[in-house]
């Protein structure tokens, strides 16, 4: 019996130690915070360091992207600025910052200020050179960051001595250690929210500094310039070079994406696709990069590579723009294919994509035009007419749509309507004669241009990513509840050996689940393993100080062990939680019996 008790105690305590170190993996959606990091304000009279403020918005946001938190992307932040008609460079007031957060559906915002001084200004350089000769290593930065809980309208903090004490984070150091500072700030924000983090500050700092300092600085400076500024490309190329030199030729994905966008805006599709295709699925902005590389390949006439980019993307990101472009490219590829079976397969593939897009976006006339044309090529002329009617209604000057409409009506025997549509095609289609000649000669329409979406809506991407993040929380929360119910049932049935593994799984999903530790404490108490029970019950109270059952059980254990002082402490805390609880009253009576 003694050996069994020790074994159970060891297992329970080991389980407690391991599980307490696991991440706060998933909270219920109601408890999951959405955090937005704003650009920090430069309070020093040195505009050349304005880039530092944006570096915080980029770096800290990425570092806060942990289980239990949903992070507002930089693009979502930009959209919030646009919706409130705020210039992207403005540093908002506290009230405006809260408005921005609400626009982005954030529950927390990180704001901050910083100042930069030269070494000689702080007395830390003896024979400093002229200011213009100073290297970044001789500049110092002092940073203050705060977190505002949006719904409460107050700064993050805690109750001390019955009063609310706000918490701000102050760090300073050489400007070359900026990423180190950002890692420490991110860690403190995460720690303030959950003191059982599964990683140390040093580990987060290592992650923050994984991008070489010069590459990071070049990237941030580059993205702050206007999209057509040639210096933007130079900074980004430097960022790629510095990153590659320090990492054995590896790619800096954020810099590659922004370079792709730079060349795309310049309509240099060969260069654009070269950079977009450097991103991998795990990288930020992969969705947009794959979409635009598909668009670029299509514009370059490489339809095979275009489909290779777009088709897999459509599974992971079922967005209208992706469906439309994948469908349009497949239909175009079918027109150019010589082999009958492959041509039929491509047309079917394209029609399937476009059908899904048309069903999901009934008001999108670009989609309906492409879908109508795919049906036209398949000989489904009655359906073609139905798809083109809203296109023509939306744009009565669409000559291509009128031409296809006329031919489809002609095919199904509606001669009078076909003639009327053909008259409109003659009026609005400048190349009508060429199209009509081809139709009369071969009944083909090789001049019809499929319509590609040139821009992937960032709103759509952000919304879908947000939904996926919320769904992950929902799935984890639902799984955790199912496991907890099962563990309760097994405990009630006396099947403790089966209940403990279920509780293990619960705290793997949510290490802060007090009920799981309470139930573990009950099981170990029933087994006679008081040490393991005490450890589990104290953990339950740590995560939920008002869990009265844990206080009562601990009071009873210590009373049985003859430790009246500890028993009295837990009896008093139970009575404080609920003075009318009968079990708490009974415990209080027991601990006071026999006192002088």
DSSP 371-440: HHHHHHHTT-HHHHHHHHHHHHHH-TT-HHHHHHHHHHHHHTT-HHHHHHHHHHHHHH-TTHHHHHHHHH
210 vs 180: CA distance, rounded Å: 10
> Which of 434, 455, 476 is the last residue in one of the domains?
455
- Coil/strand/helix, residue 63: helix
Q: Which two tokens stand for residue 213?
A: 């300092």
Instruction: With beta carbons less than 8 A apart as the criterion, state whether 383 and 373 touch.
Output: no
The count of other CB atoms within 10 Å of the CB of residue 155 is 16
112: left (phi over 0), alpha (psi -120 to 50) or beta: beta
| Cα Rg of the chain (Å, integer) | 32
Burial of 216 (0-12, 13-18, 19+ CB in 10 A): buried
> Which of 430, 455, 480 is the last residue in one of the domains?
455
- Coil/strand/helix, residue 155: strand
| CA-based max dimension of the chain | 115
Pairing mode, strands 69-71 and 33-37 = parallel
- H helical segments located in 38-155: 50-63, 74-83, 94-103
329 vs 301: CA distance, rounded Å: 10
Instruction: With beta carbons less than 8 A apart as the criterion, state whether 316 and 287 touch.
Output: yes
State whether 437 and 518 are in the same domain: no
**Residue 342 falls within a domain, yes or no?**
yes
**Residue 68 falls within a domain, yes or no?**
yes
Low-confidence ranges of the chain (pLDDT < 70): 1-32, 119-137, 157-165, 458-459, 462-479, 508-512, 594-596
313 vs 292: CA distance, rounded Å: 11
Instruction: With beta carbons less than 8 A apart as the criterion, state whether 301 and 294 touch.
Output: no
Which CATH number does the domain housing residue 137 bear? Answer: 3.40.50.10610
Instruction: With beta carbons less than 8 A apart as the criterion, state whether 103 and 96 touch.
Output: no
Which CATH number does the domain housing residue 6 bear? Answer: 1.25.40.10
**φ/ψ of residue 248, rounded to 5:** 60, 35
Q: What's the number of domains the chain is made of?
A: 3
State whether 360 and 430 are in the same domain: yes
State whether 450 and 507 are in the same domain: no
Positive or negative: CA dihedral 222, 271, 456, 107: negative
State whether 422 and 366 are in the same domain: yes
**Residue 36 falls within a domain, yes or no?**
yes
**Residue 282 falls within a domain, yes or no?**
no
State whether 410 and 509 are in the same domain: no
State whether 185 and 81 are in the same domain: yes
State whether 515 and 418 are in the same domain: no
**Residue 343 falls within a domain, yes or no?**
yes
State whether 324 and 192 are in the same domain: no
State whether 46 and 164 are in the same domain: yes
Instruction: With beta carbons less than 8 A apart as the criterion, state whether 331 and 370 touch.
Output: yes
State whether 503 and 435 are in the same domain: no
**Residue 588 falls within a domain, yes or no?**
yes
State whether 439 and 516 are in the same domain: no
State whether 438 and 528 are in the same domain: no
**φ/ψ of residue 101, rounded to 5:** -60, -45
Which residue from 155, 52, 38, 144 is spatially nearest to 91, judged by alpha carbons?
A: 38
Which residue from 557, 555, 507, 548 is spatially nearest to 529, judged by alpha carbons?
A: 557
Question: Which residue bears the tokens 């025997």?
Answer: 413
**Residue 559 falls within a domain, yes or no?**
yes
Burial of 66 (0-12, 13-18, 19+ CB in 10 A): buried
379: left (phi over 0), alpha (psi -120 to 50) or beta: left
Which residue from 109, 122, 192, 115 is spatially nearest to 154, judged by alpha carbons?
A: 109
Q: 60 lies in which domain range?
A: 23-210
The pTM of this model reads 0.69
What's the pLDDT at 177? Answer: 94
246 vs 219: CA distance, rounded Å: 15
222 vs 566: CA distance, rounded Å: 62
Q: Treating both helix axes as pointing N-terminal to C-terminal, what angle do 320-336 and 303-316 enclose, rounded to 10 degrees?
A: 150
What's the pLDDT at 18? Answer: 33
What's the pLDDT at 343? Answer: 95
What's the pLDDT at 321? Answer: 93
What's the pLDDT at 144? Answer: 95
> Which of 195, 210, 225 is the last residue in one of the domains?
210
**Residue 354 falls within a domain, yes or no?**
yes
Instruction: With beta carbons less than 8 A apart as the criterion, state whether 97 and 128 touch.
Output: no
Q: Which two tokens stand for residue 249?
A: 């030729």
């Amino acid at each position: 019996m003694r050996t069994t008790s020790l074994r159970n105690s060891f297992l329970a305590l080991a389980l407690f130690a391991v599980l307490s170190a696991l991440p706060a993996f998933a909270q219920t959606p109601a408890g999951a915070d959405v955090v937005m990091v704003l650009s920090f304000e430069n309070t020093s009279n040195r505009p050349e360091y304005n880039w530092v403020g944006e570096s915080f918005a980029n770096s800290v946001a990425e570092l806060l992207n942990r289980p239990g938190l949903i992070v507002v992307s930089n693009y979502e932040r930009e959209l919030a600025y646009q919706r409130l008609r705020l210039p992207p460079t403005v540093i908002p007031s506290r009230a405006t910052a809260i408005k921005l957060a609400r626009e982005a559906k954030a529950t927390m915002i990180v704001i901050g200020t910083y100042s930069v001084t030269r070494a000689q200004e702080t007395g830390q350089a003896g024979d400093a050179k002229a200011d213009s000769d100073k290297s970044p290593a001789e500049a110092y930065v002092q940073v203050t960051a705060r977190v505002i809980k949006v719904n409460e309208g107050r700064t993050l903090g805690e109750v001390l001595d019955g009063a609310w004490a706000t918490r701000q984070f102050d760090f300073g150091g050489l400007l070359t250690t900026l990423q180190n500072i950002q890692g420490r700030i991110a860690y403190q924000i995460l720690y303030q929210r959950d003191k059982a983090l599964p990683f140390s500050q040093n580990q987060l700092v290592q992650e923050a500094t994984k991008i070489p300092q010069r590459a990071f600085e070049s990237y941030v400076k580059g993205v702050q310039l206007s999209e057509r500024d040639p210096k933007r490309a130079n900074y980004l190329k430097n960022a790629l070079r510095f990153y590659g030199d320090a990492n054995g030729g590896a790619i800096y994905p954020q810099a590659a994406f922004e370079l792709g966008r730079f060349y795309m805006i310049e309509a240099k599709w060969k260069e654009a696709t070269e950079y977009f295709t450097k991103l991998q699925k795990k990288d930020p902005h992969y969705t947009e990069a794959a979409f635009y590389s598909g668009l670029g390949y299509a514009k370059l006439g490489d339809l095979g590579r275009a489909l290779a980019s777009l088709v897999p993307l459509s599974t992971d990101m079922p967005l209208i723009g992706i469906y439309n472009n994948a469908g349009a490219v497949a239909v175009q590829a079918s027109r150019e294919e010589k082999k009958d079976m492959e041509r039929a397969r491509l047309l079917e593939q394209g029609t399937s994509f476009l059908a899904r897009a048309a069903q999901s976006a009934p008001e999108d006339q670009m989609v309906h035009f492409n879908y109508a044309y795919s049906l036209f090529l398949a000989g489904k002329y009655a359906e073609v007419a139905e798809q083109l009617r809203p296109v023509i209604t939306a744009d009565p000057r669409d000559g291509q749509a009128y031409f296809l409409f006329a031919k489809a009506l002609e095919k199904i025997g509606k001669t009078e309507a076909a003639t009327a549509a053909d008259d409109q095609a003659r009026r609005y289609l400048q190349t009508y004669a060429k199209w009509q000649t081809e139709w009369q000669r071969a009944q083909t329409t090789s001049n019809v241009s499929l319509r590609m979406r040139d821009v992937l809506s960032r709103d759509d991407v952000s919304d879908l990513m947000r939904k996926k993040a919320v769904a992950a929380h929902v799935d984890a929360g639902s799984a955790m509840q199912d496991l907890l119910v099962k563990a309760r049932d097994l405990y009630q049935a006396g099947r403790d050996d089966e209940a403990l593994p279920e509780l293990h799984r619960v705290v793997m999903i949510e290490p802060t689940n007090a009920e799981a530790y309470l139930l573990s404490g009950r099981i170990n108490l029933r087994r006679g393993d008081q040490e393991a029970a005490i450890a589990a019950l104290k953990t339950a109270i740590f995560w939920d100080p008002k869990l009265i059952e844990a206080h009562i059980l601990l009071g009873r254990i210590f009373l049985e062990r003859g430790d009246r002082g500890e028993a009295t402490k837990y009896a008093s805390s139970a009575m404080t939680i609920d003075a009318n609880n009968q079990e708490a009253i009974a415990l209080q009576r027991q601990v006071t019996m026999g006192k002088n």
